[in-house]
Amino acid sequence: MSAIVVVDALWGDSGKGKTCAHLARRRNVTLNVRAGAGTNAGTTVVLDDGTQIKARQLPIGWTNPNTRVAVGSGTMVDPEILRAEIERFGLEGRAFVDGRCAVIEPAHIEAERADAHLATTVGSTCSGSGTARADFVLRRARQVRDLPELAPYVLDVAREANRVAARPDETLLVAGSQGTMLSLALSPDYPFTTSANCTAVAAMSDVGLNWRLVTDVVMVVKAMPSRVGEGPLPFELSAAEAIARGIAEYGVNTGRQRRKAERPDFDLLNYAAMLNGATQIALSFCDHYDPAMRGARGADAVTPRIRSLIGEVEAATGAPVTMLDTGPGLSDMIDL
């Protein structure tokens, strides 16, 4: 019996997708299910041959050839993006979506782009995910099961996720979206949040997963946290300094330069660990925090500066750091 939930501790863009891809390969995961608001968050993984994979709807665990992927019923679905990713990644027969997912319509996207509060004040990606969710709450949104063109991909994802997680020889991997501190009902920064909660429990709810089946919550902590859009960012660097240090990042959806911090806020990490019940920590972007870690793949290569950060993160979260992300490549990982 094994169900692993992967969540972001802070404001997203921490490498959850890479963490999921790594776990999918290491654990030979049976099923990787996407949770979260919708297509308002992207993920990027660089394969060992240099191929860059970017996705907004499907989780990235399919990079393990034995892993199927799916979208949980609590996640909004953009039919065009879903079909494009299935085709682009060659996932016919391996990718599924719960028929109860609400559909993101073109009108939802247009409404968000025309909303100055969302586009300017909040800094939304304007993917239509929030407006679709609002229609879903009001019970007037269409669902995936209403679209004949998506019929080949429809599955009761909740039933399949629980079936897989309950089997002694299989593993379920749930991919959370965005970050804990962007949670609609839990962030201290409202209205600078997303349109849903982004905790482990929220991810389980999006998938319909029985909590008794969860064996681990892997919380991804970015060594130099980043944030897209408005809202507080403790220990923030200037955009110019991030560029000068060669650690600037840009959003998958918008192309905007991400705001970047010098280090994590350990009080916020402590709060995130409490909310998520973290059992393991994946410490990501270690090479940005200490360039000497770039591309390291063995525990003997961990630098004193990163070992010091590991100690601080473990003290703040009460959970062990078990993975280190050391570069852009999928194999630039260290298991501790």
Please say if the pLDDT value at position 90 is more than 90: yes
Task: Calculate the CA 91 to chain-centre distance.
Answer: 20
Quick one: pLDDT at residue 331? 95
| Domain range annotation of the chain | 3-101+153-335
Q: What are phi and psi of 217, to 5 degrees?
A: -120, 110
Unique residue bearing structure tokens 């009902």: 185
Sorting pLDDT into bands at 50, 70 and 90, what band is 41? confident
* 173-188 per-position pLDDT tens digit: 999 999 999 999 999 9
CB 165 within 8 A of CB 209: yes
Nearest to 127 by CA among 42, 226, 185: 42
Nearest to 123 by CA among 7, 227, 226: 227
Mean per-residue pLDDT, 233-241: 94
* 101-116 per-position pLDDT tens digit: 999 999 999 999 999 8
Distance CA(118)–CA(110), nearest Å, equals 12
* 279-324 per-position pLDDT tens digit: 999 999 999 999 999 999 999 999 999 999 999 999 999 999 999 9
Please say if the pLDDT value at position 42 is more than 90: no
Mean per-residue pLDDT, 241-252: 88
Q: Which residues, in sequence order, are bridge partners of residue 99? A: none
Among the listed residues 13, 216, 265, 332, the single catalytic one is 13
Angle, helices 106-113 vs 129-137, to 10°: value is 110
Sorting pLDDT into bands at 50, 70 and 90, what band is 224? very high
Quick one: pLDDT at residue 253? 67
Please say if the pLDDT value at position 254 is more than 80: no
Ligand-binding annotation for 254, yes or no, is: yes
Nearest to 222 by CA among 164, 188, 268: 268
* 56-85 per-position pLDDT tens digit: 999 999 999 999 999 999 999 999 999 999
Task: Calculate the CA 192 to chain-centre distance.
Answer: 18
Distance CA(261)–CA(252), nearest Å, equals 19
Ligand-binding annotation for 255, yes or no, is: yes
Quick one: pLDDT at residue 26? 96
Distance CA(26)–CA(101), nearest Å, equals 30
Burial of 180-208, coded b for 16+ CB within 10 Å and e otherwise, reads bbbbbebbeeeebbbbbbbbbbbbbbbbb
Mean per-residue pLDDT, 3-26: 96
Please say if the pLDDT value at position 10 is more than 70: yes
CATH 3.30.1130.10 is the classification of domain 3-101+153-335: no
Nearest to 238 by CA among 248, 229, 253: 248
CB 163 within 8 A of CB 259: no
Specify the 3-state DSSP secondary structure of 237. Answer: coil
- The overall average pLDDT reported for the chain is 95
Please say if the pLDDT value at position 122 is more than 90: no
Kind and range of the H or E element at 226?
strand 226-227
CA distances from 81 to 78, 86, 256, 268, 298 (A): 5, 9, 20, 34, 37
Ligand-binding annotation for 198, yes or no, is: no
The terminus-to-terminus CA distance of the chain in angstroms comes to: 23
CB 128 within 8 A of CB 112: yes
Distance CA(8)–CA(25), nearest Å, equals 20
Ligand-binding annotation for 128, yes or no, is: no
Nearest to 152 by CA among 236, 218, 96, 229: 96
Structure tokens given for 36: 């979260």
| 152 Cβ contact list (under 8 Å, min separation 6) | none
Catalytic site residue 13?
A: yes
Ligand-binding annotation for 71, yes or no, is: no
Ranges 108-117, 214-223, 237-246, most confident:
214-223
Ligand-binding annotation for 19, yes or no, is: no
* 259-275 per-position pLDDT tens digit: 999 999 999 999 999 99
Q: Above pLDDT 90, what percent of the chain?
A: 91
Nearest to 297 by CA among 258, 336, 265: 336
